[in-house]
Structure formats: C-alpha cells, structure tokens
C-alpha cells in the first residue's frame, strides 16, 4: 500500500481504479521565419479556431453547471483577446522573426514568471488559465489533438494538474474523484469540481507515473489522503464509511415532505440560508420550508461595481418566483465590510473592521446604495413572499432611520405606478446591544433572526476570522445562549416571529434547547435541512425543557 497526502479541497470518499492522465507532450521548436505577415496570419487563424472552440465549450458548460461557473470560459475568451498577451506574441513574431508556437510559449512563460512574483493566491491560480489558453493555441498550430479524459468505467483521475477545460469536459458519471499534484483551492478547477460534486485532492505528494494506471485506490477528499493498492483494513474501513453515508442519505431522503414536528407535537420552521440565486435549486432539493437568509452581499462581491436596481431586481424576482407565494424568502440587505470587501466599496482602512463601517452602518451612510437595493426588493415583492432583513442592528434609533428610508422608497415606487405587496421587515440580532434591547426593538419590526456567528464574536470578544483563538470562539457559551433566550422571550412577549440563522442553528446538539426556548424557525445551510428535521422529529421537548433551560443559568 502506498499512502500519499494532499489537501482535500472538496469532500467525499471514492474507491475505484486510478486513471493516470498525462497531457500530450507539446514540442515547441524555436524556428526562424522570413515572412512575419504569413506567420502572423497563421497565428490569427489559430486564434479564430480557439475562439470557436471556447464558445462551444462555454455553451456546453452553461448546460452542465450553469452560467456563473461557465464564466471561466468567458474569461478564457477574453484572455484570447487580451491586448498585452496578443501584442507580446506579435512582437516576438515580427521583431525577433520567430515562429508563432515559440512566441506563444515565451509570452506564457513571461506571464507565469510575473504571476509567480505576486503575493496573491488568486492571481497565482490564474496562471492555470493562461497555460490552458496557450496550450490550446499551440495544439491547434501544431495540428495536435487535445488529450481528453475518457474512460468506460468510473475512475479516480490522477494528474499533474487539470486545466479548467479538462475539468469542465469530464464525464461526471465516469469520474469518482480527482487527485492532482499541483492546483489550489482557488483555482477554477476546484470551483468546477465543487459544482460538479466531485471529490478533489490537490497538492498531492505523488508522482504521476503510468505504473499506477488501473491500480485500486481510495481517495479521501475529506482528509486529503490517497491510498494506492490499499490493504484490506483500509479498504473495508472506507467501504463501511461509504455504506453508512449511503444509508444516512437514504434515510434523510425519506424525510422529504415530512413535517418538522417533535414527538410531543411542537412544530418549527426549517428554512435555508443561501448566497446566490443558483442556490435556490438546493433549497428546493432539500425540501426547506423557505429561505431564511439570502446573503445578498455576494451579488455585490462578484462584481466590479454596484449592481444596478434592475440587475438586483431580476435576482430577487427569480428567488421570489421560484419559491412561490407560500414560502418566505428573506433577503438580507447588503452586509459588507469586515471580511466581505471589494475595492469599489471604497471603505477606508480600519483598525477593527468587524466593529467598523459594515452592514447597516454602510447602508445608512450610503443611502443611495441602500435605496437602490430596497427599490429592487420591494419591486420584486410582488412576485412571491419576500421579506427584508437588516443586519448588524444595535439600536431603536437605527430602525427608525431605516423605516423612514424604506417608507420613502415605497412612496416613490407607488408614485411611479409600481404595484407593491407588503414586504415584512425584520432585523438580525447579532450584537449584544440588540439582544439587550430586544424588548424595544421587537415593537418596531415584524420579526427577528438571530445571527449567532456575529453574536458569538461580539459577546465573547473573539474574532470569528482568527483561527488562533478558535478555542475562545464558542457559540455554545452560556453567555451566548442566555442572549438567545433573552431575545426569544422578548419576541414572544411582543408576539413576533423569532428564528436563528447563524451556523449554530444547524448544530443538532442544540436543536432540543432551541425548541424548548420556543424558537419559531431555524435557518440552516440547505444540506442541513433534513438532518435538523430528523432531530426535531426525534425530540420530546417535555422531557428536556426544564433540565436544559435551567442549565442556562446554572452553568458557566
């Protein structure tokens, strides 16, 4: 048995035969030419063919994994037209009188050298895109053929690296896992593998040797281990793991369509958190009751400038329409700042960004951006059951300012002739200040959703981004649980709905306690909907409530 360690980028376990993928050797000779116009013409024709290939690839990938992921091949198309890239090639052909293949290769080496010097993992990962496009051009020029990864049976692919084109054209049914020597978690290959749901291990300490071809292997995308010719013990351990996972998945599937009801008849809503409009499919697939949190800022983070009102409207309308009139979709207004930054936000440097110009503070200081988003949400409200939620609230005064702005927006839209439906307005409770004045806040809004991720960091003074203080960041700390209890009690007194949408909502060890507190909704990642439903259905609140709740005040 040969054990190799890499970095698991996308989880899952695969057992199967290895298929060693070696790219065809590109033979690039340095050839002097006498007619630069003719050579330039040769290059231009190859470029046209590459453009057609990339367009076809783009269309194929849109069909397979959707537009956002196919954007990689739009980037490749743009790269193919990149002025610096092209003029460097032309320059080498015309001034050094060298052949096109050599000019492409030299230009690529120069770009890679430049990228390698940059201290930016994202840019470094783009090197694979430049290599991919150059390889395509040289293959066309030399009349070579693309080496495609074909196999009759499902295999674990072992390669030095995989280009985005190679990954995108993989036959999903024939690939159990991908194991590469190079690659990174930022690469488009990794993004595609995640979307295609294929376990991926990168940076693996292994030689891509054809002697491994056909050998049995275990690829553990969770821990990043690859076992070649595993012994019986490893094989049976992993086989057991796969079987248990299969059973668990089937058991969970059987819960689709079932109610979220405890053994003693208490109901709770289980909704899903999403980042993108494309995540709605997995909300439906996992049978969530609605969308408890749409982190709309990701719509902004993907762009180079603020998305327009119409652009946002299209997204919110799609969410509303797909979810329909019976299921809530709660759209959170822009929660940027802290770890969620884009250059165009122009937020000046801050010493403590998590406590700085983020979320509602940014919106209240940039009301034009805030109003644009609210206009888009309220307009989309007509197409389904939308609600809006405001993040990082600390005071009643903020709510009054928000409500003044939202009424102004509604009035403007009415005056413009838009047909509006009532869109409920709620707030995130994610600061200790909001928790402690939640009795006052409850009088002002339609609902609360407790953001335990931030509530924990602010309550415990423990930066959620800082892995070195992981042990101090404990969302189950009694202080956080007491905060939650205060908020739930105040919401109940005021008669408004209260949910939890931080990661803690998906912790099945806490489900009983949240039910006992009287939480109305848990909003969790789509893949956690069915596990939480299972826990709810196995819980008897009458047996746990007293013990668990009194524990909140007796334990420290």
Check residue 337 for interaction with ligand PEP (CB under 6 A): no
Q: Which stretch binds ligand PEP (CB under 6 A): 234-242, 347-355, 397-405, 450-458?
A: 450-458
- What is the Cβ-side half-sphere exposure of residue 148, based on CA atoms within 13 angstroms? 9
- Smaller CB separation from ligand PEP, 384 or 451: 451
Check residue 475 for interaction with ligand PEP (CB under 6 A): no
Separation between Cα atoms, residue 239 and residue 81, nearest integer Å: 49
Shortest distance (Å) from residue 484 CB to ligand PEP: 11
Check residue 295 for interaction with ligand PEP (CB under 6 A): yes
- Smaller CB separation from Mg ion, 449 or 539: 449
452 binds, among Mg ion, ligand PEP, none (CB under 5 to 8 A by kind): ligand PEP
Concatenated DSSP letters for 405-463? Answer: HHHHHHHHHHHTT------EEEEEE-SHHHHHTHHHHTTT-SEEEE-HHHHHHHHHT--
Q: Residues with catalytic annotation?
A: 188, 501
Are the C-beta atoms of 240 and 43 separated by less than 8 Å? no
Q: Which of 454, 520, 521, 548 binds ligand PEP (CB under 6 A)?
A: 454
Shortest distance (Å) from residue 272 CB to ligand PEP: 12
Check residue 279 for interaction with ligand PEP (CB under 6 A): no
Shortest distance (Å) from residue 511 CB to ligand PEP: 17
How large is the angle between the packed helices 83-95 and 36-65, nearest 10 degrees? 150
501 binds, among ligand PEP, Mg ion, none (CB under 5 to 8 A by kind): ligand PEP
Shortest distance (Å) from residue 451 CB to ligand PEP: 3
Q: Which of 312, 394, 452, 539 binds ligand PEP (CB under 6 A)?
A: 452
Are the C-beta atoms of 540 and 262 separated by less than 8 Å? yes
Q: Which stretch binds ligand PEP (CB under 6 A): 40-48, 162-170, 240-248, 447-455?
A: 447-455
Sheet holding 175-180, edge to edge: 2-5, 225-228, 216-220, 13-21, 155-159, 175-180, 200-202, 7-10
Check residue 453 for interaction with ligand PEP (CB under 6 A): yes
Check residue 358 for interaction with ligand PEP (CB under 6 A): no
Total count of residues recorded for the chain = 556
Identify residues 244-263 at the interface with ligand PEP (CB under 6 A): none
Check residue 501 for interaction with ligand PEP (CB under 6 A): yes
SS (H, E, C) 48-113: HHHHHHHHHHHHHHHHHHCHHHHHHHHHHHHHHCCHHHHHHHHHHHHHCCECHHHHHHHHHHHHHH
One character per residue 385-424, x = contact with ligand PEP (rule: CB under 6 A): ----------------------------------------
The H or E element spanning position 177 is: strand 175-180
- Smaller CB separation from Mg ion, 307 or 451: 451
307 binds, among Mg ion, ligand PEP, none (CB under 5 to 8 A by kind): none
Q: Whose structure tokens read 């603020």?
A: 306
* Residues found near Mg ion in the complex (CB under 5 A): 430, 451, 454
Separation between Cα atoms, residue 143 and residue 338, nearest integer Å: 51
Residue ranges in contact with ligand PEP by CB under 6 A: 293, 295, 335, 430, 451-454, 501-502
């Amino acid at each position: 048995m040969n054990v190799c360690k890499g970095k698991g980028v996308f989880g899952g376990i695969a057992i199967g035969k290895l298929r060693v993928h070696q790219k065809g050797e590109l033979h690039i000779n340095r050839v002097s030419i006498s007619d630069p116009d003719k050579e330039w013409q040769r290059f231009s024709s190859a470029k046209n063919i590459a453009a057609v290939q990339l367009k076809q690839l783009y269309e194929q990938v849109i069909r397979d994994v959707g537009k956002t992921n196919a954007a990689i091949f739009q980037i490749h198309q743009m790269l193919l037209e990149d002025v610096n890239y092209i003029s460097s090639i032309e320059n080498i052909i015309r001034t050094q009188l060298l052949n096109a293949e050599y000019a492409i290769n030299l230009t690529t080496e120069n770009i890679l050298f430049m990228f390698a010097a940059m201290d930016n993992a994202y840019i470094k990962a783009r090197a694979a895109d430049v290599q991919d496009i150059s390889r395509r051009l040289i293959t066309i020029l030399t009349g070579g053929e693309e080496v495609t990864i074909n196999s009759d049976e499902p295999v674990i692919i072992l390669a030095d690296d995989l280009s985005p084109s190679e990954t995108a054209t993989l036959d999903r049914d024939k690939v159990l896992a991908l194991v590469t020597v190079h690659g990174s978690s930022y690469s488009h290959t990794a993004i595609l593998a995640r979307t295609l749901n294929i376990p991926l291990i990168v940076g693996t300490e292994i030689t891509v040797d054809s002697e491994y071809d056909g050998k049995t292997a275990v690829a553990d995308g969770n821990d990043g281990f690859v076992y070649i010719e595993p012994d019986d013990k490893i094989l049976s351990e992993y086989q057991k793991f796969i079987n248990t996972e299969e059973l668990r998945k089937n058991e969970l599937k059987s819960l689709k369509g079932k109610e979220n009801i405890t053994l003693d008849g208490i109901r709770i809503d289980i909704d899903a958190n999403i980042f993108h409009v494309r995540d709605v499919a997995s909300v439906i697939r996992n049978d969530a009751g609605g969308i408890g949190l749409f982190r709309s800022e990701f719509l902004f983070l993907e762009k180079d400038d603020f998305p327009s009102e119409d652009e946002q409207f299209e997204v919110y309308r799609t969410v509303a329409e797909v979810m329909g009139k019976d299921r809530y979709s709660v759209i959170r207004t822009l929660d940027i700042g802290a770890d969620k930054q884009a250059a165009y936000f122009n937020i000046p440097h801050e010493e403590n960004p998590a406590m700085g110009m983020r979320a509602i503070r940014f919106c209240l200081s940039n009301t034009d951006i805030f109003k644009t988003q609210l206009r888009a949400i309220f307009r989309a409200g007509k197409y389904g059951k939308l609600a809006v939620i405001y993040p990082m609230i600390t005071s009643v005064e903020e709510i009054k300012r928000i409500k003044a702005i939202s009424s102004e927006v509604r009035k403007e839209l009415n005056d413009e002739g838009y047909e509006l439906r009532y869109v409920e307005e709620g707030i995130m409770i994610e600061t200790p200040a909001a928790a402690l004045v939640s009795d006052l806040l409850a009088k002002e809004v339609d609902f609360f959703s407790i953001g335990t991720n931030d509530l924990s960091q602010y309550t415990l003074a423990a930066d959620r981004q800082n892995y070195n203080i992981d042990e101090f960041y404990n969302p189950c700390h009694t202080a956080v649980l007491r905060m939650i209890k205060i908020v739930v009690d105040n919401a109940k007194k005021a008669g408004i709905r209260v949910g939890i949408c931080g990661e803690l909502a998906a912790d099945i060890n806490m489900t009983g306690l949240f039910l006992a507190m009287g939480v109305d909704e848990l909003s969790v990642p789509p893949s956690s909907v069915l596990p939480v439903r299972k826990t709810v259905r196995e819980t008897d609140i009458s047996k746990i409530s007293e013990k668990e709740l009194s524990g909140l005040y007796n334990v420290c």
